[in-house]
């Protein structure tokens, strides 16, 4: 099932997402593949890989909610926001709070969350990635970004380590969130461990290790049909003749209660042919796939 599909990899710690992608392409013998939501080398967990025609639909999965398990270390900060940067220790005493107090602090971050992207990130400003400036010791103005925190669950507190689980929108930098939590508690904080445990409706149980991958067509572990990465979009089915018209770039008539929204388009053989936009019972093609 390696062709035209979604693959959910459990990325190991210590390698970049691009290195993981190269290993996967080599193991599976595929040329066309891409990443949805890059993970830092420090981070582990769910790395969605789109293969073949699935690469055309990446943006429809990018907007899905992300879930992370995070270890916060109090009393120290770093220039990278994690434990791999230059460390600076805090002389202030780590706050001794009850579990309920920690929960109250975490709840303050729920909802719209405005943050500044870290210098050690791949955000581009003036044609260069921020980490390129950071490595030269340069600082540059970073515009604030609006993200959304759906929930932060308290898991455990053990001396200077706080364990939490975060559910957030795309574009949320967990390292910055961790530093902001520390600031609210009046103590330095950094990300000691970060693991992505879910994207959309996918969970940890849906992932596969890179080492366990092979190009065997009968091995489906970690692979998912394109339809599963588009589960948040309504589906319609059209006739063979209408498919021909769409592939010619034409609009088609389609009676539906749906209006002013994107739809998944299937043909009579139940194969996804692409994404369209329906308005006043007229479907316009947006992104069509090549299918056999």
Which residues participate in catalysis according to the annotation? 40
Cα–Cα dist 108/116, whole Å: 17
Cα–Cα dist 98/102, whole Å: 6
Cα–Cα dist 188/83, whole Å: 12
The closest of 247, 227, 243 to 235, measured between CA atoms, is 227
The closest of 138, 184, 178 to 161, measured between CA atoms, is 178
Cα–Cα dist 158/201, whole Å: 30
Phi, psi of 286 (to 5 degrees): -115, -50
Q: State CA 128 to chain mean position distance.
A: 22
CA dihedral over 87, 115, 160, 82, signed as positive or negative: negative
The interaxial angle of helices 99-107 and 174-184, nearest 10 deg, is 120
Cα–Cα dist 61/48, whole Å: 9
Whether residue 37 contacts residue 66, with contact meaning beta carbons closer than 8 Å, is answered with yes
The closest of 24, 36, 40 to 226, measured between CA atoms, is 36
């Amino acid at each position: 099932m390696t062709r035209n599909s979604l693959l959910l990899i459990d990325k190991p710690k210590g390698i970049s997402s691009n290195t993981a992608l190269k290993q996967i392409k080599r193991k599976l013998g595929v040329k066309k593949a891409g990443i949805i939501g890059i993970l830092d080398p420090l981070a582990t967990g769910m790395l969605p890989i789109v293969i073949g025609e699935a690469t055309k639909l990446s943006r429809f999965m990018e907007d899905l909610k992300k879930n992370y398990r995070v270890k916060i270390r109090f009393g120290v900060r770093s220039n990278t926001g994690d434990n791999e940067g230059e460390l600076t220790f805090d002389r202030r005493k780590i706050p001794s709070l009850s579990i309920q107090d920690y929960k109250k602090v975490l709840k303050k971050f729920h909802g719209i969350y405005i943050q500044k992207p870290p210098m050690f990130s791949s955000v581009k400003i003036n044609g260069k990635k921020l980490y390129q400036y950071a490595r030269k010791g340069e600082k540059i103005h970073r515009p604030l970004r609006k993200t959304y925190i759906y929930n932060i669950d308290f898991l455990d507190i053990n001396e200077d380590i706080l364990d939490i689980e975060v559910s957030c929108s795309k574009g949320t930098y967990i390292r910055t969130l961790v530093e902001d939590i520390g600031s609210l508690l009046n103590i330095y904080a950094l990300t000691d461990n970060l693991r992505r445990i879910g994207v959309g409706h996918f969970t940890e149980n849906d992932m596969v290790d890179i080492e366990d991958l092979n190009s065997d067509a009968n091995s489906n572990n970690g692979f998912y049909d394109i339809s599963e990465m588009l589960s948040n979009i309504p589906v319609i089915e059209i006739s063979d003749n209408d498919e021909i018209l769409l592939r010619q770039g034409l609009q088609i008539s389609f009676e539906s209660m749906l209006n002013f929204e994107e739809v998944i388009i299937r043909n009579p053989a139940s194969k996804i042919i692409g994404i369209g936009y329906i308005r006043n019972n007229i479907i316009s093609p947006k992104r069509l796939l090549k299918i056999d």
